[in-house]
Amino acid sequence: MSSMILRSVPLALLLGPWVCNLAGAGGADDAVHWRASVTASATITHGSSATLEVSGEVQEGWHVYGLEQQPRGPTPLRISLEANPIVAAIGPTSATLPETVHDLHFGFDTQLYTHPFTIHVPVQVSADPVTGRQLIPVSVRFQACSDRECLLPRTVHLFVLIDVSS
């Protein structure tokens, strides 16, 4: 009997990662597709301002929680600039108006997105003489849920390409 147990342990160890990967298939990677870009009213130069736009396309059957949430509720959406010498955030973010829905998972109203949405992050370009194409690192922290499951909060890392003129 003990040899039967010893033989089943290695099989369980081999199948464990495969089963875990199946549980994650079709989850967070497919729930929301993210894009990031920059808009500016004129040429981006040293000291000028621009707006980073982070867009989420929520897949059918899923939702992403919005920027404002109650304590002990879902993880709120957070867009942040990672440390970089090119741009700095200069004001509050603005966003597509989310839906307010009574969430049965939490027992109170939450803000969420079920359709494509955009978050605007105002930035100012550094006065330092950095010119040419630059990559701005942006982090997106979010939680996605469906009617059947809530995925663990996740952070994705995006890059925005900007051209800085002198």
**pLDDT tens digits, 29-60:** 689 999 999 987 667 888 899 999 999 999 99
CA distance 45 to 125: 7
Task: Give the strand pairing for 62-65 and 108-113.
Answer: antiparallel
Q: What backbone torsions phi and psi does residue 28 show, to the nearest 5 degrees?
A: -55, -35
CATH class as words, domain 31-164:
mainly beta
pLDDT of 21 above 80: no
Residue with tokens 């033989």: 7
**What are the tokens at 38?**
């920059």
Say what the pLDDT of residue 38 is: 93
Q: Where are the domains of the chain?
A: 31-164
Say what the pLDDT of residue 29 is: 62
**pLDDT tens digits, 66-93:** 999 999 899 999 999 999 999 999 999 9
